[in-house]
Amino acid sequence: MTFTKEQLQDIEGQGISFNKIGSDECISDISWDFSGGKVRYNLDRTVDGCPDSVWRYKTVDEFNAIINDGTWEMEGTFESLPEIKANRYTIEPATYTRRDGKVLNMFLLKLNDDVEVSFQVASKIDDLCKQYRGWYDRKRCGWMLRSEMDAESLATDIHANDLAELYIYA
């Protein structure tokens, strides 16, 4: 099985492990390291008759190459959470009243509660938003944009550049 980055972000806590065929080596405690953007796993093995456990960090491609080399067997079942991944944000119609009283039809882009953005990343998103002639609205906790297409484009840019990290609370 080849895992995507999104699937590896879901894998923690699902009890999936890989056992090496004909050996006592085992890959367990698989999780996603959001700070480094890599797969984190524990390699359990026996070295010179003594149990040894080592934490490893690999990219998605390196991890897939290891588990798909034909010597590893997966234990457990993987249940992806695509409905959470697909809906990281909402876009809703909104209005904005200027100081002179003119009402503008806008669109509000809001990230869902399971998405966290740091202060530094929020400023990067604000810079992206300015490219679409939009701004962050503190009262509504979202980015105001002039068209739905601009809001969709900003949401795509945010997730294409991995600016928002997804945390799933169990």
pLDDT of residue 82: 40
- Residue 108, strand partner residues: 92, 144
pLDDT of residue 117: 61
- Residue 99, strand partner residues: none
pLDDT tens string 28-53: 878 777 667 788 888 888 777 788 88
Q: Using DSSP, state whether 155 is helix, strand or coil.
A: helix
**How far apart are the C-alpha atoms of 31 and 127, rounded to whole Å?**
31
Which two structure tokens, joined as six digits, stand for 33? 């390291």
pLDDT of residue 50: 81
pLDDT of residue 105: 92
Regions in the chain scoring below 70 on pLDDT: 1, 9-10, 12-14, 34-35, 77-87, 113-121, 160-170
On whether the CB atoms of residues 58 and 38 are closer than 8 A, the answer is yes
Quick one: DSSP state of residue 70? S
- Residue 151, strand partner residues: none
pLDDT of residue 127: 82
Would you give the end-to-end CA distance of the chain in angstroms?
25
- Element at 116 (helix H, strand E): strand 115-116
pLDDT of residue 144: 92
Between CA 147 and CA 150, with CA 148 as vertex, the angle to 5 degrees is 65
106: exposed, middle or buried (Cβ count in 10 Å: 0-12, 13-18, 19+): buried
pTM for this predicted structure: 0.45
pLDDT of residue 70: 84
